[in-house]
Structures are given as structure tokens and as C-alpha cells.
Amino acid sequence: MKLKVDDLRSPEVHKLLQEHLHSMTLHSPPESIHALDIEALRQPDITFWTAWDDAGALLGCAALKTLTPLHGEVKSMRTAQAHLRRGVAKALLDHIVAAARARGQCRLSLETGSATAFEPARRLYLAAGFEYCQPFAQYIEDPHSVFMTRAL
């Protein structure tokens, strides 16, 4: 698996992000969807990574948003359907944690869904040391959202 900073230009990345946004609409009402579109992911406070296999298949993606110099947010974690449960998300999350540490950030937080469909993601985050927390940054209480954080 090769991880790289991505410029969000490839059709494969566009397709994966479209799938990501579409899946959010299946499990959350519009006002509770906090996934970012391609243009939002191109902002200077966001670094976006993709994971690829040796054959050139896109395995997944993830992003790190800088909230403050000491606080980062995990965004756009998505594994391609054909590569679920193969360690892609864990590798991406480990990479984000390392990148946040390298930037001097002391905390990582995230928002994910509360629906059953998001249970695998919540288990991944708990296994990586994240704990449930109150809303952070611009987020507000929402029965469709779960907030998690981890000290680095």
C-alpha cells in the first residue's frame, strides 16, 4: 500500500468521494452531513491523502484539517468498497496521527455518524485511542452525529 498526498484530480478519487458523499445521504439527514466535497478538500488548511495498491487501484482516502496549530480534525475517511476490512482505514488513520504529531498538534478530533452503518468506523476510532467527546470547533449537538477526540 502506497500513501500519497493527493491533488484530487484523478477520476478514481472523484468517484470515491462521490460514493462517500452519496453514502452519507443514505444514513444521515442533509443538515447532519459534514463530509466535504472536492472543492472543500482543496482548501489550504486540509491535507488529503490517498492509498493505492501496487497495481494502481485506489484503496481509500483520508484528510487532516488544521483547526488550530495544536488541534487537527480527521476528515473524509473512506475505504473503497472492494477493499473493506483489509487494513486500509487503519493505515490511513495511523498516517494521519503521525502527520498531526509531526505538525506539533496535541489533539485530533472527528465527527462521524451515529447510525448503525457507522459502527465499523466508530470501532476503528475507539481501537486507535479516540474517546467520545462533546462537539468541537463549529459542530453542535446532533442526534445523527458522534464526536470523538484523542490526545497525541
Residues 108-134 have a mean pLDDT of 96
Q: How far apart are CA 74 and CA 109, in angstroms?
A: 6
The model's confidence at residue 50, banded by pLDDT at 50, 70 and 90, is very high
pLDDT for position 30: 76
What per-residue confidence (pLDDT) applies to 33?
A: 84
Of all residues in the chain, what percent carry a pLDDT higher than 70? 100
Q: What is the pLDDT of residue 26?
A: 74
Confidence of residue 58 (pLDDT cuts 50, 70, 90): very high
- Looking at residue 117, its amino acid is A
Write down all domains in the chain, each with its CATH number in brackets. 2-107 (3.40.630.30)
Please name the helix (run of DSSP H) or strand (run of DSSP E) that holds residue 41, with its range, or none.
helix 38-41
73-92 average pLDDT score: 94
Instruction: Give the C-alpha distances (Å, rounded to integers) separating 2 from 8, 17, 68, 143.
Output: 16, 19, 28, 36
- 3-state SS of the chain: helix, strand, coil percent to 5? 35, 30, 35
